Amino acid sequence: MEGEEGTGETETTESGLISDWAELTHECLINILSRLTLEHRWRGAMLVCKPWLNACKDPTLHTVFDLETRFDSSNDSTRWWTPEFERKIDSMLRSVISWSNGNLTEILTRHCSDLSLNFAAQMCPNLRVLSIKSCPHVTDASMAQIAHHCRNLKQLDISYCYEISHESLQLIGQKCTNLTVLKRNLMNWLDPSQHVGIVPHDYLDACPQDGDTEAAAIGKFMPQLEHLEIRFSKLSAKGLGSICEGCLKLEYLDLSGCANLTSRDIINATSNLKELKELKKPNYYIPRSVFHTERYGHWRLYDERFQTDVFRI
């Protein structure tokens, strides 16, 4: 079925009975299609015949938009950063939003833009999970719309979205008071070679520098957080202190790659987190060449680093 357009014509089965797949009741079709992945519906079922296409647009099939598993399993990451690919993701997301009739509660994708997220904010008031990693054209503008219209948001992943600033973190925290999970991871700026040839150079250079400002917004406006990931953030001991003072319900904290923190900083800041169950420390290896650059010369002063392994995203 996948990738081929059907006609819906009758066929004779081994038992001699005649079946017409196009004549299945709508309820029966929904039951069948609900067992397929989003990708299989788009690449297969929607192409069978008009009744199947209409069934694929049923709102009950569009409470979740999840492309994350597809991204995780694909090796074709070089084309993800192109305008053409972004337009395809936007188009697909906007279609699902329209078909959902307001029932969409989870969006997990990458490389969308403000265009589709503004639409999501207007049409998906029940949104609870938003994961939009690696979106170079998602900005504070669409995040403001999400904050104002999606007050039930509980989980937010804006990792590698460098056009989103601390202003969005503040607004999301103020408006979405039930937020318990935040993932604000940055790319590995300690060893960016793993991104070369995939991520545009100018985007790598745009890595946010205001770690403490973001940390202050998190600590002040997100007191309900239980799970926080800020891998490769450039926050200092002051920023970590702000988080730990304001987010006393934290159970999981990932500080991997946070090069400006020492072991003492982490111990001092997290000592008051009574609910903390798992803490990932800055376990990384600093290449020898780094010590000869003026930009990272201050690392020579730090003898409390966790330089035990090469950190890989």
pTM exceeds 0.85? no
* Cβ count within 10 A of residue 111: 24
Average pLDDT over residues 73-102: 90
Radius of gyration of the chain (CA): 23
Confidence of residue 19 (pLDDT cuts 50, 70, 90): low
Residues 6+ apart with CB under 8 A from 96: 62, 65, 104
* Position 61, amino acid: L
Confidence class for position 11, pLDDT limits 50, 70, 90: very low
Torsion 192-196-198-200 (CA) sign: positive
Most confident option among 143-152, 187-196, 303-312: 143-152
**What DSSP string describes 29-93?**
HHHHHTTS-HHHHHHTGGGT-HHHHHHHT-GGG-SEEE-HHHHHH---GGGTTSHHHHHHHHHHH
Exposed / middle / buried, residue 257 (Cβ in 10 Å: 0-12, 13-18, 19+): buried
- Across the chain, what does the average pLDDT equal? 84
CB within 8 Å of 286: residues ≥ 6 apart = 190, 259, 296, 299, 305, 307
What sign does the CA torsion over 257, 261, 264, 270 have? Answer: negative
Rounded Cα distance between 93 and 301, Å, is 48
The pair of three-digit structure tokens given for residue 195, joined into one six-digit string: 């991104």
The pLDDT value given to residue 298: 38
Domains, the chain:
1-61 (no CATH), 62-301 (3.80.10.10)
Q: What is the pLDDT of residues 137-172, one digit of tens each?
A: 999 999 999 999 999 999 999 999 999 999 999 999
Over the stretch 206-261, which tens digit does the pLDDT of each residue have?
999 999 999 999 999 999 999 999 999 999 999 999 999 999 999 999 999 999 99
